A and B are shown apart, each in its own frame.
Chain A
Amino acid sequence: MKRMIVKTLLGGAFAATAAISAALAADKVVYQLDWLPGGDKAPIYVCIQTGFCAEEGLEVTIEGGRGSSEAITKLATGVSDIGSAGIGALMSAKAGEGVPVTAVMSLFNKGPHAFYALVGSGVEKIEDVKGRSVATSPFTESNIYLPLVLQDMSMAETDITLTKADPGALGPMLMTGATDVIIAWLTDVSRYTGQAKEAGKELVIFPWSAAGLELYSASLVASDKFLKERPDVARRFIEAYKKSIAFAYENPKEAAEAVAAAVPELSVENVEGSLKDAMVLVFNEVTEKDGLGAFEPERLKATWERVSKAQGLDPTALDPESIVDRSFAAGS
C-alpha cells in the first residue's frame, strides 16, 4: 500500500517533470500575419487552438501585420520567423534589395483580385467595366495588377473612372450606387454578399483570373535565418500548418471557432464566411493538378512576368526560382 503510494507519487512526479521539460523544450516560433486577423488566416489559429502546433513540439505566437511589405520587413529583421505574405511583394523586395526571406509554400494559387458589381447594373461580363466608375482602396495590391487586367481586355486606365476610398467604404459605395464597380478580394465575398443582402441587392463577381490573371499570391514565407538555423523546426511547423489547412477546409465551423476564440472581436459566422471564400483560392483545379502548397515552375515564372511587368521591373532582375525553397514543404 505504502509502496504503491510512493510509486504513484513518483510516477506523478515523473509525469510532471516530463510535461515541464516538454514545455521547456517546445520550440518557439513567431508567426507573422500580413494583415488583420480573419477567416483567411484561420489555419494558424487552428494550428494553435487545436494542438497541431503543440503536437509538433512548437509554441507559436502571432505577430500582427499591416500589409505584405511590412510583414516581409519584420521577417527580414528577425521580429518574426515565418508568416504569410503576397509573393508579388516578396518578388519585388527580392529584386530590389535582396531581402533574406524565402517562400516555402504557396497558399493562394490564384490571384484574389476581382471586380464586384450589382446585378442589374448592366455589368454582365468582365469587359463591361469599360466606361464605368470603379472604386478601389488606396493600398491594395490589386492596384498594381489593374493595368495588366485592363490591357488583357484591350482597355486603358482612361477607359474607366478610378476613385480611391477607404476599404470599409467600398461596400456601402457600391450598394448606394456611388460607384458602379469596386475592386475587392475574393476572400471578402461573403461579407459583401451580406451587405448586399441587407440593402436588398445581389452581387455579381468577376475574378481577374477570368481576364487571364493566373498567378500565385499569398504564400508562406520565412526568414532565411530561421530556415538556416532551425530547419527542423521549420519543417515541423510547415507540417503542422498543412494539417491545419486541411482541417480548416474540412471543418470550417470548428476552424472559425478557433479564430473567434483567439480574436474575440470576430464573430464565428464572419470568420466562417471569409474562411470559405479563402479556401476557394487554396483548393481548386490548380491544387488538384499540382498539389497543395506547390510552386509549379511555369506558373511561378508567369507570376514573375506579371509582377515585373505590372511594377515596371526588369524581367531579368530576378530568377523566380531563387525566391522559393520547395524542400521544406516536400513530402506531400
Chain B
Amino acid sequence: MTMSDTSEASSLSVRPERSETRRQVMARAIRAPGVLPAATFVLILLVWEASCRVFAIPSFILPAPTRVLGGFGAVDTARWLEHVWATLRVAMTGYFLSIAISLPLSIMLSRSEILSRAIYPILVVIQATPVVAIAPVIIVALGSGDLPRVVITCLITFFPLVVSTTTGLMATPPELIELSRSLRAPVFREITQIRLPYAVPYLFSALKISITLAIIGAVVAEFVAAEKGLGYYIQFSTSMFQVQQAWAGLIVLVLLSLILFQIVTAIQRFWFPWSLPGDRT
C-alpha cells in the first residue's frame, strides 16, 4: 500500500515539461509499483544460489533455490492441494470462529466496566500462556480431528481481535454518542451505526494480524498432531532429512499467508476505503 502511494505521489509531482532523459525514464521505471521488490527478490535468489554453489553448502544446511524448486516436485499438485486445503481449512475455521467470539465479547467489554474488569485478566492469562506449550494438552483433551487444531488456532488469534476491537469501540468520538443519546436512539443502533463502524479501522488492523496468526496456529497444531497439512508436511520432511522438501513447504506456507493477508487488505480497500489511514486528507 505504501509502495503504490509513493509511486502515485511521485507520478503526480513529475511533470513531463521537456523530453525525459534516459536516466529519468529509468528512474520512473524503477518506481513503478512492484518493480523494486521484485528486483530485490530476484537479487536475493541469485546471491543465495551463487553462495550455495561457490561455498558448496550442503543442502541439509541450506538447499539452493534450484534444489528447493526440485522439492516442489516431490509430491504432485493434487497432494500439495490436499496439504494446503488441510491447513487452510483449520486456519479459516479457527479464524472465523475467533471473529465470531471476539466481536460480541468486545461489545460486552466496551459496554460494561465491571465485566471488563472481570474478564480482561482472564483474557490476558490465556494470551500469556504459550499456545505451543498447551497444544499437546488440547490435542489429548479434544482427540484427533479438526476440532483441537481449530481451538488452537482460535486461541492464538482471538486476543488481538478482542483488544483492538474493544479499543476501537471505545475510540468513538463522545460527541456522536451524545448525539445518539439526544436522539434517544436504541442502544443497538448506537452500536451498529456508530461504534462498530468506528471500530472498523481497528478491527481490520487486528484482522490483518490475526490472519497470519491463524496460519501459525494451524501449523503449530499440525506439528503436534496431524496427518495432513503444510505444517505436518514440513515437520515430516525435516524428520525424513528432506530439507529441500521442507523449504518448498515453507515457501507455500509463506505464500498462503501473504495471499490471505492481501485478501483481507483488499476487502478493506474495496468495502471500507474510508477506514484506510492517510489515503485522503
Binding between chains A and B: yes
Q: Give A1 Cβ to nearest chain B Cβ, in Å.
A: 47
A171 to B241, CA, bound (A): 9
Contacts of A64 in B (CB 8 A): 225-227
Interface string of A132-170 (1 = CB under 8 A from B): 000000000000000000000000000000000011100
Instruction: Determine if A265 and B245 form an interchain contact, defined as CB atoms under 8 angstroms apart.
Output: yes
Contacts of A168 in B (CB 8 A): 238-239, 241, 243, 246
Interface string of B200-243 (1 = CB under 8 A from A): 00000000000000000000000011110000010111111111
Instruction: Determine if B76 and A264 form an interchain contact, defined as CB atoms under 8 angstroms apart.
Output: yes
Q: Give B22 Cβ to nearest chain A Cβ, in Å.
A: 48
Query: Which of A66, A171, A265 has a CB less than 8 Å from the CB of B233?
Result: A265
Contacts of A267 in B (CB 8 A): 74, 242
Quick one: which of A79-132 are within 8 Å of B by CB? 79
Instruction: Determine if A191 and B61 form an interchain contact, defined as CB atoms under 8 angstroms apart.
Output: no
Closest chain A residue to B246, Cβ basis: A168
Contacts of A188 in B (CB 8 A): 241
Instruction: Determine if B227 and A195 form an interchain contact, defined as CB atoms under 8 angstroms apart.
Output: no
Contacts of A264 in B (CB 8 A): 74-76, 79
Contacts of A265 in B (CB 8 A): 74-75, 79, 233, 236-237, 240, 242, 245
Q: Give B81 Cβ to nearest chain A Cβ, in Å.
A: 12
Interface string of A5-41 (1 = CB under 8 A from B): 0000000000000000000000000000000101000
A192 to B60, CA, bound (A): 10
Contacts of B236 in A (CB 8 A): 36, 265
A266 to B245, CA, bound (A): 10
Instruction: Determine if A79 and B239 form an interchain contact, defined as CB atoms under 8 angstroms apart.
Output: no
A192 to B241, CA, bound (A): 8
Asked whether A50 is an interface residue with its Cβ less than 8 Å from the other chain, the reply is no
A264 to B243, CA, bound (A): 16
Interface string of A260-303 (1 = CB under 8 A from B): 00001111001000000000000000000000000000000000
Interface of B is mostly: loop
A264 to B75, CA, bound (A): 6
A272 to B39, CA, bound (A): 42
A163 to B61, CA, bound (A): 19
Query: Which of B75, B144, B240 has a CB less than 8 Å from the CB of A270?
Result: B240
Instruction: Determine if B242 and A198 form an interchain contact, defined as CB atoms under 8 angstroms apart.
Output: no
Interface size class of B (residues with CB under 8 A): 20 to 34
Query: Which of A63, A192, A266 has a CB less than 8 Å from the CB of B240?
Result: A266
Q: Give A129 Cβ to nearest chain B Cβ, in Å.
A: 23
Known interface pairs A175-B58, A264-B79. Does A195 touch B241 (Cβ–Cβ under 8 Å)? yes
Query: Which of A38, A195, A270 has a CB less than 8 Å from the CB of B60?
Result: A195
A264 to B242, CA, bound (A): 13
A168 to B233, CA, bound (A): 14
Closest chain B residue to A137, Cβ basis: B239
Interface string of B139-177 (1 = CB under 8 A from A): 010011000000000000000000000000000000000
Contacts of A171 in B (CB 8 A): 60, 241
Instruction: Determine if A176 and B74 form an interchain contact, defined as CB atoms under 8 angstroms apart.
Output: no
A266 to B79, CA, bound (A): 12
Asked whether A172 is an interface residue with its Cβ less than 8 Å from the other chain, the reply is yes
Known interface pairs A64-B227, A172-B61. Does A167 touch B240 (Cβ–Cβ under 8 Å)? no
Contacts of A195 in B (CB 8 A): 58, 60, 241
Contacts of B129 in A (CB 8 A): none
Contacts of B238 in A (CB 8 A): 166-168
Q: Give A187 Cβ to nearest chain B Cβ, in Å.
A: 12
A38 to B75, CA, bound (A): 15
Asked whether A199 is an interface residue with its Cβ less than 8 Å from the other chain, the reply is yes
Q: Give B132 Cβ to nearest chain A Cβ, in Å.
A: 13
Contacts of B246 in A (CB 8 A): 168
Q: Give A270 Cβ to nearest chain B Cβ, in Å.
A: 6
Known interface pairs A171-B60, A270-B242. Does A66 touch B224 (Cβ–Cβ under 8 Å)? yes
Instruction: Determine if A198 and B239 form an interchain contact, defined as CB atoms under 8 angstroms apart.
Output: no
Instruction: Determine if A172 and B224 form an interchain contact, defined as CB atoms under 8 angstroms apart.
Output: no
A194 to B58, CA, bound (A): 11
Asked whether B59 is an interface residue with its Cβ less than 8 Å from the other chain, the reply is yes
- 11 A-B contacts (beta carbon < 8 Å): A36-B240, A64-B225, A168-B238, A168-B243, A168-B246, A172-B60, A192-B241, A195-B241, A199-B60, A264-B75, A265-B245
Given contact pairs A73-B140, A198-B59, A199-B60, a sample of 6 additional A-B residue pairs in the complex whose CB atoms are under 8 Å apart: A63-B144, A168-B243, A168-B246, A191-B240, A195-B60, A264-B75
| Chain B residues near A (Cβ < 8 Å) | 58-61, 74-76, 79, 140, 143-144, 224-227, 233, 235-243, 245-246
